[in-house]
Amino acid sequence: MIPTFDLYIQPFMECLKDGKEKYLKQISEELAIFFNLTEEDLAETIAKGTQTRHYNRASWAGTYTLKAGLTRRPKPGCYQITDFGRVFMSKWDPITPAVLRAEIPEFAEFSKTKPKQSSKENEPLSLVEKTPTEIMDEAFSTINEDLIEDLLTKLHNVDPQRFEHIVVDLLVKMGYGGNLENAALITRYKKDDGIDGVIKEDKLGLDKIYIQAKRWTNTVGKPDIHAFIGALSEQGASKGVYITTSKFSSEARSFKPKSDMKIILIDGRELCQYMIEYGVGVSVKQVYEVKRIDSDYFEE
């Protein structure tokens, strides 16, 4: 029988005590041995899904430890214990969601619950004070937050040229370029004069959007935006979109061109949210329908 989710976190951390980097698949296999799961147990799937219940719970244990700062992701899908994780393990046994919520404010914020006094014997906090709709909404938000982090990790690891293609694909999917064929153009990777892509908004190419795509970890500052504006001026452009996997400084956000030029800034988090919204680099895994009573039907 598969244990409840709260029992996964402690053994998940035990799998990482040796300090080695381990992929989730390896950790889930070690957990299966730890829990003495049968082939039948391992074949059990979650409702409306093809993912096994065991792997799903192991995956969420990874997400919880990551959000709590007990582990880190050196590579996509890979986990490693942190120094804080070692210290925390020495103080708490077992580590449960209730302990994480009570002892780590950042995790409490992530799980949308208020920290409460806990002890080593605490059971997971009950969510009975929330309506089913609230629980579903928060669960959906949590899943999306984890997806955003996964997308950012992927974007940081793709080739810079591939990143430029992803950005242009997204803007086209968002409707820029309309129904024009070959509306999007990726400029030469080297000597691109500060412009990574161009999208034509009309057949003759009289109106264009110029794109700067930076796969960065450093904060984009005002000088970077100023340089982009200079590149746009050389092209005689009036519209520009600056997209980065990192963040913009407050000075960069507040900087406005003196001309009629319009500049849109999209940081890493916003980029991932748009990718999810427009289905770029992601696919639908499960669909849940929430239905309500049709009062008009009963009144006819």
pLDDT digits (tens, 9 = 90+) for 91-135: 999 999 889 989 999 898 887 644 444 443 444 344 433 556 656
pLDDT of residue 212: 93
Q: Return the residue matching tokens 């020495």.
A: 90
pLDDT of residue 60: 87
pLDDT of residue 178: 75
pLDDT of residue 124: 39
CATH number of the structural domain spanning residue 223? 3.40.1350.10
Please list the ranges in the chain whose pLDDT falls under 70.
47-50, 112-135, 188-193, 205, 295, 300
Q: Which residues contact 39 (CB under 8 A, 6 or more apart)?
A: none
Domain around 273 = 159-278
pLDDT of residue 83: 96
The answer to whether position 79 is within a domain reads: yes
- Say if residue 111 is in the same domain as residue 214: no
Q: Return the residue matching tokens 């998940």.
A: 12
Q: Return the residue matching tokens 């406005």.
A: 256
Q: What tokens were used for 158?
A: 């793709």
The answer to whether position 249 is within a domain reads: yes
Between β-strands 71-72 and 239-244, what pairing exists: parallel, antiparallel or unpaired? unpaired
- Say if residue 166 is in the same domain as residue 273: yes
pLDDT of residue 23: 93
The answer to whether position 217 is within a domain reads: yes
Give the pTM. 0.64
- Say if residue 103 is in the same domain as residue 189: no
Pick the last residue of a domain from 60, 87, 115: 115
pLDDT of residue 258: 79
Report the interhelical angle of 132-157 vs 268-278 (nearest 10°). Answer: 110
Report the domain count for the chain.
2
- Say if residue 95 is in the same domain as residue 164: no
Own/partner long-range contacts of 62-65 (Cβ < 8 Å, ≥24 apart): 62/12, 62/24, 62/27, 63/146, 64/9, 64/97, 64/100, 64/107, 65/9, 65/12, 65/13
Helix (H, G, I), strand (E, B) or coil at 262: strand
pLDDT of residue 127: 40
Provide the percentage of residues in the chain whose pLDDT is more than 90.
49
Q: What tokens were used for 29?
A: 């296999």
Provide the percentage of residues in the chain whose pLDDT is more than 70.
87
